[in-house]
């Protein structure tokens, strides 16, 4: 099962450390990045997206709630703050949970488990294509090909090119549905038609299998 990718937007170093430690102790969470203000997180969200944001309320430059209102298609959000009076506003913005500082690991787990089921059941991703967010269903993807700082996603109906690294898109594709077979290629397991030790055929296209990726092919 793929992990829930998350980021922390928090300007207090101690709070960042506590959250980072809690995330490291939670097997189904993956911390991708931390940001000391919301503006610094904007480019990461546009480029790579995320499944979950741990969002502080009192941030420099742009406050947490104001930042949340700017997101047209926000991921799951867990608000972290020392001020209980913001809870009502947070829930009105459909945040998943509201953690009042200081909170212990048990309370943290309660919050993230509310995120776990919806994310694991998700069957699509949104990608940036020509200034639009385009939904791509996992079941439609044939393979993904690296093109330097971009990736080309070939589906049953279309080809999409978006600015992401192969590593970034691999992180958001469920591991039980997709397999990295080359430093430049990720393929849909259910779309594999045939394979040898060196090549794999998906959607009528022959894709090379890198030497470092051959182990485990017979377990497909």
User: Per-residue pLDDT tens for 85-134?
Assistant: 654 454 556 788 888 889 999 999 989 988 887 766 778 888 888 888 89
Candidate from 63-77, 95-109, 202-216 with smallest mean pLDDT: 63-77
Residues 4-54: tens digit of each pLDDT: 999 999 999 999 999 999 999 998 899 999 999 888 888 888 888 899 999
Taking alpha carbons only, the member of 178, 177, 176, 187 closest to residue 209 is 187
Q: Which position has the higher pLDDT, 29 or 63?
A: 29
Residues 173-200: tens digit of each pLDDT: 887 889 999 999 999 999 999 999 899 9
Q: Cα-flanking dihedrals φ and ψ of residue 136, to 5°?
A: -125, 120
Query: Quick one: fold of 4-120?
Result: Rossmann fold (3.40.50)
Give the Å distances, CA to CA, from 46 to 49, 117, 162, 180, 201.
6, 24, 11, 24, 32
Superfamily for the 124-219 domain? LytTr DNA-binding domain (2.40.50.1020)
Res. 216: pLDDT tops 80 = no
pTM here? 0.58
Write out the H or E segment, with its range, that includes residue 195: strand 192-195
Q: How confident is the model at residue 219 (pLDDT cuts 50, 70, 90)?
A: low
Q: How confident is the model at residue 74 (pLDDT cuts 50, 70, 90)?
A: confident
Q: Pseudo-torsion of CA 51, 32, 39, 135, nearest 10°?
A: -40
- So where are the chain's domains? 4-120, 124-219
Res. 220: pLDDT tops 60 = yes
Percent of the chain at pLDDT exceeding 90: 47
pLDDT at 69: 83
């Amino acid at each position: 099962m793929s992990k829930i990718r998350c980021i922390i937007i928090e300007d207090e170093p101690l709070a960042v450390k506590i959250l980072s430690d809690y995330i490291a102790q939670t097997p189904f969470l993956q911390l991708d990045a931390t940001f000391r203000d919301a503006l610094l997180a904007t480019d990461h969200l546009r480029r790579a997206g995320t499944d979950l944001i741990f969002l502080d309320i009192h941030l420099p430059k742009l406050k947490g709630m104001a930042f949340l209102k700017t997101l047209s298609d926000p991921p799951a959000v867990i608000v972290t703050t020392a001020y209980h009076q913001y809870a009502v506003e947070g829930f009105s913005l459909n945040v998943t949970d509201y953690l009042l500082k200081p909170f212990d690991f048990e309370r943290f787990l309660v919050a993230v488990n509310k995120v776990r089921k919806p994310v694991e059941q998700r069957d699509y991703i949104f990608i940036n294509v020509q200034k639009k967010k385009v939904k791509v269903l996992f079941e439609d993807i044939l393979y993904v090909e690296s093109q330097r700082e971009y990736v080309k996603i070939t589906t049953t109906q279309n080809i999409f090119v978006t600015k992401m690294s192969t590593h970034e898109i691999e992180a958001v594709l469920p591991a039980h549905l997709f397999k990295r077979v080359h430093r430049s290629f990720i393929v849909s397991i259910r779309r594999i038609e045939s394979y040898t030790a060196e090549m794999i055929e998906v959607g009528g296209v022959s894709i090379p299998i890198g030497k470092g990726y051959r182990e485990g092919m017979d377990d497909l």
